[in-house]
Amino acid sequence: MIDLHTHSIFSDGELIPGELVRRAIFNGYEAIAITDHVDFTNLDYVLGSLKKLKMQSNDDIEVLIGVEITHVPVSKIDRAVNRARELGAELVVVHGETLVEPVASGTNRAAVDNPMVDILAHPGLITEEEVELAKENGVYLEISSRQGHCLANGHVARICHELGARMLLNTDLHSPDDFLCDELAMKILTGAGLDPDTAERVLRVYPRELVDRVLSDYR
């Protein structure tokens, strides 16, 4: 299992980063990204703190440090992405237009239009045009296991599969109860309407591809 969207106590998660990593190892994960919620008020603090996690890196798992740019005004998203990269974010996630939060309209478009964004999280009722842009710019689109955010999984899976855009399954983990096993992960993906072969690629091939891309860029 590879999970590229999780949260620690540096935003609204329950675990300190080290425990989050330890529990991921216990649950058999091969890679994990810590992507705490940020805007301009806490971006420097979060990345400065997460970078210290490298001091206790573990050979049992690949750990990426990143951010989830959250509720930033649409016109400022590119600036936030650039700032995150300047501060050392290995992975940049943008909080998409989920059905259960008042995310500003246009956020999805701003995210997929920026090749420096890695993942658009829980993008809700994303349009075909936006999916095409994500495909063109190498932005991965998220299938979510998180309650509420998962409501549009079927739509995201269908449109991405039809247009050939890359998808990932992420937990948007906030607590120890959010860790997934492979069996449940496959059920979530097939429950979203993906055939088993495509679900397997979404679970294993595409996240590995993105992790390798990040590692080649930053290490």
56 pLDDT band, cuts 50/70/90, is confident
Virtual torsion, Cα 1, 204, 156, 164, nearest 10 deg = 170
* Count of domains for the chain: 1
Mean pLDDT of the 187-206 span? 98
Q: Does this model's pTM top 0.85?
A: yes
CA distances from 152 to 12, 97, 98, 183, 186 (A): 23, 10, 8, 21, 17
Q: Which residues contact 211 (CB under 8 A, 6 or more apart)?
A: 2, 4, 31, 62, 64
Q: Which residues contact 75 (CB under 8 A, 6 or more apart)?
A: none
Asked whether 93 and 119 are in contact (CB, 8 A), the reply is yes
% of the chain residues with pLDDT over 70 = 99
Mean pLDDT of the 10-32 span? 97
Question: Which residue segment(s) compose the domain that 199 sits in?
Answer: 2-218
Amino acid identity of residue 193, one-letter, is: G
pLDDT tens per residue, range 101-136: 999 999 999 999 999 999 999 999 999 999 999 999
Question: Which run of H or of E encompasses 142?
Answer: strand 140-144
CATH number of the domain residue 73 falls in:
3.20.20.140
Phi then psi for residue 15, to 5 deg, are -110, 145
